[in-house]
Structure 1
Amino acid sequence: MNAPLKRVDPDAEPTAPVLPSETEAEPTATEPQMTTEAEVKPKGRRRLLMFSVPVLLALAGGYVWLTGGRYVTTDNAYVHQPMVSISPDVSGRISEVDVIENQLVQAGMPLFRLDPEPLSIALAEAEAALASAQLSVAQLRAAYDTAQAKLAATLHIKDVRDREFDRQKELASRGISSSASLDESTMAVYTSENDVSLARAAVESAAAALGGDPAIKTDDFPAVRTALAKRAAAKRNLSKAEVLAPVTGIISQIESLNVGQYVTPAATVASIVKTGETWIEANYKETQLETLKIGQPVEVDIDAYPGVKLDGIVESISSATGSQFSLIPAQNATGNWVKVVQRLSIRIGVTPDPAHPLRDGMSTSVSIDTGLSRLDKLK
């Protein structure tokens, strides 16, 4: 809509147009001074904050850094427990299995049994061999006694013939006996001497067959000792037909324990994880080892049990890095050598918590309390 027209009085005096600048009041002399002071105060505060906050942060960071460094941590740490491989001492076919997978077994508990019949037969053969060896010793003793008796007999015969030779010699010197009789006596003496020599050799041979000691005990004779050892081995093998747990722990990996399966001493058929001995193997960087010592306290966090902390102690520090124990150690004498930070294994003894059992291979995080902060090192 159009605005209504304003009526103009022709008798009224014309008025001059009003300018905007003439209607505004002129500022007083004090207003600019008040605005400047109000603006200066916020600017000063901002400058103070701009300088003080970084300084405070730097001081706080420096304090934290200087008072830190007491705890050396790593998450490259794992639970370890001794693992014992189970294998039979003798070959045989499994006839009975007494355990199941992941069963807790006590030391001396039967695990499985082998068929004892072949082992019993081997024991019977060993006992027969022992009896045969003992019989041989008895025969050798009899041969030695016979050789001694023959020697004694030939010595007596020689003594008689020596006396006969002396008589014939005296008679011949008197002319009473003939030369033929003297010759016969002489031949008889020679024959008896030869018989004595043969008898002595037979005695020596019989003594040598007895090991050079005719008074040797039967069980000390070499052949008998060999037979005794074979019989003892056969008895041991028969006793090993029942395989017992060597340690207390949890048996695992029993897939090869099946009735009817033939096993040998070189084959591992199961494993027992010894739960009574547990430690942590922490792999620290070589740059973290400066303040680590044996006997320092350790705090252990188990990944499987969030919030659970176990106490431990540094037991030992490895004598070489892990790469040195590898099958093929690294060779750095080449042109393309790249320096890599090495790690050393630290064994940490841990106090177990029955409510939170540890298993071999569990991941952990460990923190070793060195007792020295960076500020202490600077003193």
Structure 2
Amino acid sequence: MDQRVNRPERQSDDPEINLRTAPDKETQAASEAVSPPGRARPRRLRLRLYGAILAALIVIGAGGWWLWQQFTHVFVTDARVAADIVAISSRVPGWVTAVDVIAGDAVHKGDVLVRIDERESHLRAQELDAQLAGVARRREEIEARIVLTDHQTQSRITARQAAVRAAEAALAAAKAQRNLAKTENARAEKLAPGGAITRAYLDQTRAALETARQQVLSAQAGLESARAAVAEAEAARGELAVLQRQLAELGPEEQRLRAQRERAALDLEDRTILMPFDGVVDQTFIDEGEYVTPGQRLLMIHDPDHVRVEANIKETDIRFFRPGKTVTITVDALPGRRFEGTVTRVGQAATSEFALLPNPNPSGNFTKITQRLPVRIAVQQDDGELKPGMMVEVEATTGD
């Protein structure tokens, strides 16, 4: 028989403490009356056992899940977001007069990025415009001289040709007169010995014949002079050919000046550097007032809508990354987000082949190291959150 000794509990001097402890004692007494004190400890032990079993099941499940993932998936941590970053350079030298953008700006195609001093280019373009205008004036002058010379020489030739025809007619008339005088003289010479004509008439026929002969010579000289005048007029027309050659020489000169003018216009245009496409400015390397040289890098830009993932895959896992394979991408900067990507290109050479210091292993000592091949993965941009250089992880299944 359990003998219990009821000892009086020590009462506190504070009445409030006695009031607070009184209900607790009554509750404890009720619980002791309902549950025997021997059954409380086994119940706690069972709860601890159940907790240990549940924890073990959780650990086993997590480990099983991890093992299943390792056997059925390939995880790649050496991957980054990439984009085609374009370096904008200057084609002309000069002082920078304005830099209209800074790193991080979103710029539309055709917006001004950088301005370079263009005063000298303006002066050169004006000089070439003046030379082209001078060539045009010279062409007009030569063309006018050609028209004038053509009219003058043509009218002169026509007049000389008419003079030739008149000289030919005069020569024909002189010859006919000479023939008539010759016939008259021959008749007089036959009749003079018989006394049929007088001596004076004979002398007249002889004088008329001589005069006719001189007129023929004069007519021949006039004809030759007229023909010489025609030749002179035709020779003067040769000046047209000289003027035509001068006009032809203006063509190459004008073409040369136009090429220089286009080059000057191109130089002037290159002094205002425009955005080639819609994108963002990644970094600027110059400030207003600096002097730049041809080929100097001014700033770097890229199109945020065209990004990709570039990963270096172990050669033992490259068989799981065929073109067209769908993979899962997680970004370190965006926890909880998962992106879907598609393998678009697999490199044809390991990254070690492009090392600055290749290792030909001439000594014969060899340590086998797993090589990596570059893989490009297409991924859809999400409101510009994927930025070049971000670290990502790629997950691919080992099945087809």
The alignment's TM-score, normalised by the length of structure 2, stands at 0.63
- Does residue 250 of the first structure (1) align with residue 288 of the second (2)? no
Say if 1:282 and 1:347, in contact at 8 Å, map to a contact too. Answer: yes
Pick closer, same or farther for the CA change 1:241–1:332 going to 2, 3 Å. closer
Whole-Å Cα distance in 2 between the matches of residues 189 and 335 of structure 1?
103
- Once residues 229 and 249 of structure 1 are traced to their aligned partners in structure 2, the CA distance between those partners, rounded to angstroms, is 34
Rounded Cα–Cα distance in structure 1 between residues aligned with 2:348 and 2:153 = 74
Distance 1:337 1:146 in 2: 95
Structure-1 residue corresponding to 2:244: 207
How big is the shift at 1:156? Answer: 0.9
Distance across 2 between alignment mates of 1:331 and 1:178:
112
Q: What residue in structure 1 maps to residue 94 of structure 2?
A: 92
State which of 350, 365, 368 in structure 1 corresponds to 2:393: 365
Which letter does structure 2 place at the counterpart of 1:272? I
Q: How does 1:319-330 map to 2 (within 5 A)?
A: 319-322=348-351, 326=354
- 1:306 and 1:141, CA in 2 relative to 1: closer, same or farther beyond 3 A? same
Equivalent position of 2:126 in the other structure: 124
Q: Spell out the pairing of 1:82-231 with structure 2 (5 A cutoff).
A: 82-174=84-176, 175=178, 176=212, 177-199=215-237, 201-211=238-248, 221-231=251-261
- 1:170–1:112 distance in 2 versus 1, CA, 3 Å: same
AA of the residue aligned to 2:344: E
The residue matched to 2:296 in structure 1 has which SS?
coil
Displacement of 1:167 in angstroms is 2.0
Aligned counterpart in structure 1 of residue 323 of structure 2, from 288, 294, 302: 294
- Contact kept in structure 2, 1:310 and 1:353, CA below 8 Å: no
SS of the aligned residue for 2:289 comes to coil
* Counterpart secondary structure, 2:224: helix
Q: Which runs of 4+ in 1 moved over 6 A?
A: 327-335, 337-340
Q: Could you tell me which of 376, 379, 397 is aligned with 1:350?
A: 379
Q: Is the 8 A contact 1:172 1:182 kept in 2?
A: no
**1:121 offset after TM fit, Å?**
1.7
Shift of the 292–184 alpha-carbon distance from structure 1 to 2, 3 Å rule, reads: same
> How far apart, CA to CA, are the structure 2 residues paired with 1:329 and 1:169?
106
Cα 1:88–1:189 change in 2 (3 A) is same
Q: Is the 8 A contact 2:314 2:370 kept in 1?
A: yes
Q: Percent same amino acid among aligned pairs? A: 24
Distance of 2:158 and 2:298 partners within structure 1 = 73
| Alpha-carbon separation, structure 1, partners of 2:240 and 2:266 | 40
Equivalent residue runs for 1:234-245 within 5 Å: 234-245=264-275
1:294 partner amino acid:
P
Query: TM-score under structure 1 normalisation?
Result: 0.66
Matching of residue 312 in structure 1 with residue 338 in structure 2: no
Gaps of 5+ in 2: 1-63, 179-211
User: In structure 1, what is the Cα distance between the partners aligned to 2:169 and 2:357?
Assistant: 97
Q: Which one-letter code corresponds to 2:313 in the other structure?
A: Y
What is the CA distance between 1:349 and its match in structure 2? 0.8
Instruction: Please say if residues 165 and 189 of structure 1, whose CA atoms lie closer than 8 Å, have aligned partners that are also in contact.
Output: no
Q: 2 CA distance for matches of 1:327 and 1:151?
A: 82
1:315 & 1:110 partners in 2: Cα distance? 35
What is the root-mean-square deviation in Å for CA atoms of aligned residues?
3.6
Instruction: Give distance in 1, aligned partners of 2:334 and 2:223.
Output: 111
2:308 is aligned to: 279
Distance in structure 1 (CA, Å) of the matches to 2:124 and 2:398: 63
CA drift of 1:114 comes to 2.5
1: CA distance between counterparts of 2:80 and 2:257? Answer: 52
Shift of 1:232: 4.5
SS state of the match for residue 100, structure 1? Answer: coil
| Paired letter, 1:173 | K
Alignment length (residue pairs): 299
SS at match of 1:276: coil
